[in-house]
């Protein structure tokens, strides 16, 4: 079976082993928090898992194609609003969105089909916008992703009958907990890793190094960018659904610059070129922002909102982005996955040991 | 038997004519040399053949079918592999992955031509097996050049375009390269167009040589004839000053004068 996977998708054993190790790491974090932490800290961990899903979604497109993406949170918002509106109880809709279009206030869905519809609509929207976006290259592409964020935000804010506009949409039942969040985050880590290592991911990374050389090697850069963008839309809208089910209250503000900025900082700090980097970045930035909050001495209101960026925290994230872009653009993890790095170091050690043996008589004396 | 045919191609950048009415052909199994002083337009000609650049006038045909302006990806899948004068590898990817990128394209689009070609085989052929796990950007210069060739060969190309493959190589390395280029032709039967400044390399490895000067094709023939051709001696092998005075003659006219 391994050989068939290798043949068809270019995925070797190491990709699966590495993916599962990363997933195990994510689950381990969840287990430790559940065993040892207090309620407030568990809420932090829950938000961390949602953010991790979003960072992994961002990594799939930005990390592999090496083009800045500033609009990814768009799909998070779409997933959250679609699932949230579908699942909200009739009583809530009667007061919140009495004039809802499409008769949305006449029924409520079970949370699983609601989640599925949220993810499907998010993914389809990613595909359709991707058709247009991937025609752009370089800066034009990045600016276009930003425009997408602003456009969809404007819709959220102004389609009052559907979303309640700028006012928070509340009453979404709480349907996820630490266990389900960590499992989904772990699954997303595997997806990101396998995509990166797949034939498509490899060719996309090649195009991120040199577009002309990739095309001259037969790579369809546009199509692969579209594939990555769509897959990323899938993960990001899934993260949005998780967010809605976690906090129960969403507003357009939750899916705007603060979230873009936070997830970007996480990815850049950890290293956008690997799924490991996404995980490492999400962990460290979460710990860092918690520390900053504690230093700020602000009353801690976990769980109710995405971490709001203000004061020290915003400063900290800004510094992280600027410093890393300037000094270590590949982030902490660099351009390898953690297990690849371990393997390379091991190989080098063995090579050195072998070389040492050759010159043994001289060095041992 | 495939045939690559460049017919009366012109290409200018602003006021500079990089190619002026240039024609050239290459058939399967041939090794064709392309020489000329710096700025003669050799690289531009390769860029036009591989559709990295569109032509202004003229056509590039592969087996009678126009390929100019169809884009570098299409050209690659049609069977034209190339290397770059200023090496363009995927620096962060490993040596093996660099080859994998092209090989994957061939697996889906050139399966029939790929018969017998493997990544391991290419690594061994270009003497890169020991370095296969290293990042491409960490390789010494000579190996990077070889890796570019291996990557191009992973497309199982019908034609291979090499832009100064021996540049920066020492005597011994370019000696080995001569052997490799011949072996590629002998084993795969593809046609090869090779640019280089190392005349010894070109004269040894090529059966036919095209000479360019200031965007025009000024001579064409077997190595012995090219070495003796007074126009070539003047503009290329001879002194720079005389080359300049000679340049007043329009290259198109010069090309037309060549049978
Ligand atoms: N992309 C480009 N833009 C502008 N001018 C170019 C470009 N590419 C090549 N040229 C010009 O075209 C001429 C031919 O260049 P080139 O094909 O690189 O020559 P060669 O490979 O024979 O040294 C030169 O005068 C060069 O400056
Ligand atoms: Mg050149």
Which residue's alpha carbon is at the smallest distance from atom 2 of ligand 1?
B13
Contact criterion met (CB < 8 Å) for A218 and B71:
no
Task: Yes or no: say if B62 and B26 are a contact pair by the CB < 8 Å rule.
Answer: no
Rounded distance from Cα B16 to ligand 1 centre (Å): 9
* More confident of the two residues A309 and A31: A31
How many CA atoms within 13 Å lie on the side-chain side of B53? 18
Top residue of A217, A329, A333, A342 to mutate, by most chain B CBs within 10 Å, is: A217
pLDDT tens digits for range A49-91: 999 999 999 999 999 999 888 999 999 999 999 999 999 888 8
Relative to the alpha carbon of B52, which ligand is closest? 1
Distance B44 CA to ligand 2 centre (A): 7
Contacts of B50 in chain A (CB under 8 A): 216
In a domain? residue B238:
yes
Q: What is the pLDDT of residue A196?
A: 96
In a domain, B141, yes or no: no
The two tokens of residue B177 are: 């390269």
Expressed as residue numbers, the domain containing B234 is 3-91+163-257
Strand order in the sheet with B57-62: B16-27, B3-13, B57-62, B65-66
Instruction: Please report, for residues B24, B77, B180, B218, the alpha-carbon distance to residue B27 in angstroms, rounded to integers and kept in the order given.
Output: 11, 18, 19, 21
Q: Does residue B109 sit at the A interface (CB-CB below 8 Å)?
A: yes
Alpha-carbon gap, residue A226 to A209, rounded angstroms: 17
Helix or strand holding residue B51 (H, E)? none
Name the pTM for this structure: 0.88
Ligand 1: atom nearest CA of B19 is 14
**Number of domains present in the structure of chain B:** 1
The arithmetic mean of pLDDT across residues B82-103, rounded, is 96
3-state percent helix, strand, coil for chain A, nearest multiple of 5? 75, 0, 20
Tokens representing A176 are 């996820």
Model confidence band, residue A147 (pLDDT cutoffs 50, 70, 90):
very high
* Residue B133 within any structural domain of the chain: no
Residue B255's pLDDT is 37
Could you list which residues have their CB under 5 Å from ion ligand 2? B 43, 85
Per DSSP, what are the bridge partners of residue B191? B159
Q: What does the block give as tokens for B8?
A: 């009366």
B52, B84, B101: residue with CB nearest A202: B101
With a CB-CB cutoff of 8 Å, which residues 85-144 of chain A face chain B? none
B35 half-sphere exposure, CB direction, 13 A CA radius: 25
B-chain residues near A214 (CB < 8 A)? 90, 101
Residue A365 scores a pLDDT above 70: no
Q: Which of A205, A210, A218 sits opposite B73 (nearest CB)?
A: A218
Residue matched to tokens 């034209």: B80
> Which of A285-294, A332-341, B46-55, B234-243 has the largest mean confidence?
B46-55
Across the interface, whether the CB atoms of B101 and A344 are under 8 A apart is answered: no
Are the C-beta atoms of residues B83 and B153 closer than 8 Å to each other? no
Instruction: Tell me how far apart the alpha carbons of residues A220 and A210 are, in angstroms, rounded to a whole number.
Output: 13
Q: With an 8 Å Cβ cutoff, are B76 and A218 in contact? A: yes
DSSP A298: P
Report the C-alpha gap between B143 and B121 in whole angstroms: 16
* Cβ proximity of B80 and B159 under 8 Å: yes
- Ligand 1 first shell, C-beta below 6 A: B 13, 16, 18, 36, 38-44
Per-residue confidence (pLDDT) for residue B252, from 0 to 100:
37
Statement: residue A361 has pLDDT above 80: no
Pick the residue from chain A with its C-alpha nearest to B109. A218
- Please check whether residue A334 is in contact with residue A271, taking contact to mean a CB–CB distance below 8 angstroms: yes
**Burial letters B25-57, b for 16+ CB under 10 A, else e:** bbebebbbbbbbbeebbbbbbbbbbbbbbebee
Highest mean pLDDT among A92-106, A266-280, A339-353: A266-280
**What integer pLDDT is reported at residue A1 of this predicted model?**
66
State the burial class of residue B1 (Cβ atoms within 10 Å of its Cβ: 0-12, 13-18, 19+): exposed
What's the Rg (C-alpha) of chain A? 22
- The residue among A109, A83, A106, A305 whose CA lies nearest residue A97 is A106
pLDDT in tens, A173-191: 898 899 999 999 999 999 9
- Does B76 reside within a domain? yes
Distances (CA, A) of B215 to A223, B143, B229: 36, 31, 19
Q: Is residue A164 very low, low, confident or very high in pLDDT (cuts 50, 70, 90)?
A: confident
Structure tokens at B72: 């570098």
If you average pLDDT over residues B100-119, what whole number do you get? 93
Is A95 within 8 Å of A227 (Cβ atoms)? no
Calculate the average pLDDT of chain A.
87
Average pLDDT over every residue of A85-114: 83
Give the start-to-end residue ranges of the domains of chain A.
Answer: 13-251
Give how far B230 is from chain A: nearest CA, Å.
Answer: 37
Assigned domain for B100 exists: no
DSSP letters, A1-51, are -HHHHHHHH---HHHHHHHHHHHHHHHHHHHHHHHH--HHHHHHHHHHHHH
pLDDT band at B1 (very low <50, low <70, confident <90, very high): confident
Please check whether residue B53 lies inside any domain of the structure.
yes
Please determine, for the modelled complex, whether the ipTM score is greater than 0.90: no
Atom of ligand 1 nearest to the CA of B42: 22
For chain B, state the CA radius of gyration: 18
CATH at B47: 3.40.50.300
State pLDDT tens for residues B127-166.
999 999 999 999 999 999 999 999 999 999 999 999 999 9
Reply yes or no on whether the pLDDT at A274 is more than 60: yes
Confidence of residue A107 (pLDDT cuts 50, 70, 90): confident
Q: Do B72 and A209 touch (CB under 8 A)?
A: no
Q: Which of B24, B41, B202 to mutate to test the pocket of ligand 1 (most atoms within 8 A of CB)?
A: B41
pLDDT of A303 higher than 60: no
Q: Are B201 and B174 in contact (CB under 8 A)?
A: yes
Interface contact A223, partner B, CB < 8 A: no
- Region of A211 (left: φ > 0; alpha: ψ -120 to 50; beta: rest) is alpha
Contact B92 A210 (CB under 8 A): no
């Amino acid at each position: 079976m391994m050989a068939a996977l290798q043949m068809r998708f270019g995925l070797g054993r190491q990709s699966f082993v590495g993916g599962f190790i990363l997933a195990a790491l994510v689950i381990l974090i969840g287990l430790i928090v559940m065993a040892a932490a207090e309620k407030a800290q568990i809420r932090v961990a829950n938000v961390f898992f949602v953010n991790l899903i979003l960072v992994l979604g961002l990594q799939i497109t930005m990390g592999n194609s090496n083009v800045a993406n500033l609009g990814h949170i768009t799909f998070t918002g779409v997933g959250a609003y679609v699932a949230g509106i579908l699942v909200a109880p009739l009583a809530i809709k009667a007061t919140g969105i009495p004039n809802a279009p499409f008769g949305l206030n006449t029924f409520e869905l079970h949370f699983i089909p609601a989640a599925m519809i949220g993810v499907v609509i998010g993914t389809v929207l990613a595909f359709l916008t991707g058709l247009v976006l991937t025609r752009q290259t370089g800066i034009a592409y990045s600016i276009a992703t930003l425009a997408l964020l602003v456009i969809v935000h404007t819709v959220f804010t102004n389609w009052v009958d559907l979303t309640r506009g700028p006012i928070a949409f509340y009453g979404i039942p709480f349907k996820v907990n630490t266990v389900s969040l960590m499992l989904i985050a772990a699954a997303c880590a595997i997806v990101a890793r396998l995509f990166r290592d797949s034939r498509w991911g490899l060719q996309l990374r090649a195009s991120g190094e040199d577009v002309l050389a990739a095309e001259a090697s037969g790579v369809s850069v546009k199509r692969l960018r579209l594939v990555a963008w769509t897959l990323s839309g899938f993960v990001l809208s899934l993260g949005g659904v998780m967010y809605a089910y976690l906090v129960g209250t969403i507003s357009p503000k939750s899916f705007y610059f603060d979230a873009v900025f936070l997830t970007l900082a996480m990815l850049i700090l950890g290293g956008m070129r690997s799924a490991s980097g996404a995980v490492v970045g999400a962990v460290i930035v979460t710990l860092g922002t918690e520390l900053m909050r504690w230093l700020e001495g602000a009353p801690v209101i976990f769980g109710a909102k995405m971490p709001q960026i203000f004061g020290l925290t915003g400063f900290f994230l800004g510094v992280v982005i600027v410093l890393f872009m300037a000094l270590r653009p590949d982030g902490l993890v660099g351009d390898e996955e953690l297990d690849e790095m371990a393997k390379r170091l091991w190989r080098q050690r063995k090579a050195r040991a072998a070389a040492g043996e050759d010159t043994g008589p001289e060095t041992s004396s | 038997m495939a045939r690559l045919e460049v017919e009366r191609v012109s290409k200018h950048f602003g006021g500079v004519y990089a190619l002026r009415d240039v024609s050239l052909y290459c058939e399967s199994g041939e090794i064709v040399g392309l020489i000329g002083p710096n700025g003669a337009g050799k690289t531009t000609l390769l860029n036009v053949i591989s559709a990295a650049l569109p032509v202004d006038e003229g056509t590039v045909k592969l087996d009678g079918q126009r390929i100019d302006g169809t884009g570098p990806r299409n050209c690659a899948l049609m069977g034209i592999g190339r290397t770059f004068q200023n090496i363009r590898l995927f620096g962060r990817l490993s040596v093996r992955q660099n080859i994998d990128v092209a090989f994957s394209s061939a697996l889906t689009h050139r399966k029939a031509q790929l018969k017998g070609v493997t990544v391991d085989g290419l690594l061994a052929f270009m003497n890169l097996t020991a370095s296969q796990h290293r990042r491409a950007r960490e390789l010494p210069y000579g190996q990077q050049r070889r890796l570019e060739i291996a990557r191009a060969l992973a497309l199982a190309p019908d034609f291979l375009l090499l832009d100064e493959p021996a540049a920066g190589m020492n005597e011994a390395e370019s000696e080995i390269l001569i052997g490799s280029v011949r072996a590629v032709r002998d084993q795969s039967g593809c046609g090869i167009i090779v640019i280089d400044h190392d005349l010894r390399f070109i004269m040894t490895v090529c059966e036919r040589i095209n000479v360019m000067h200031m965007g025009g094709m000024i001579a064409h023939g077997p190595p012995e004839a090219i070495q003796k051709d007074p126009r070539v001696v003047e503009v290329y092998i001879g002194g720079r000053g005389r080359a300049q005075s000679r340049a007043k003659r329009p290259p198109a006219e010069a090309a037309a004068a060549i049978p």
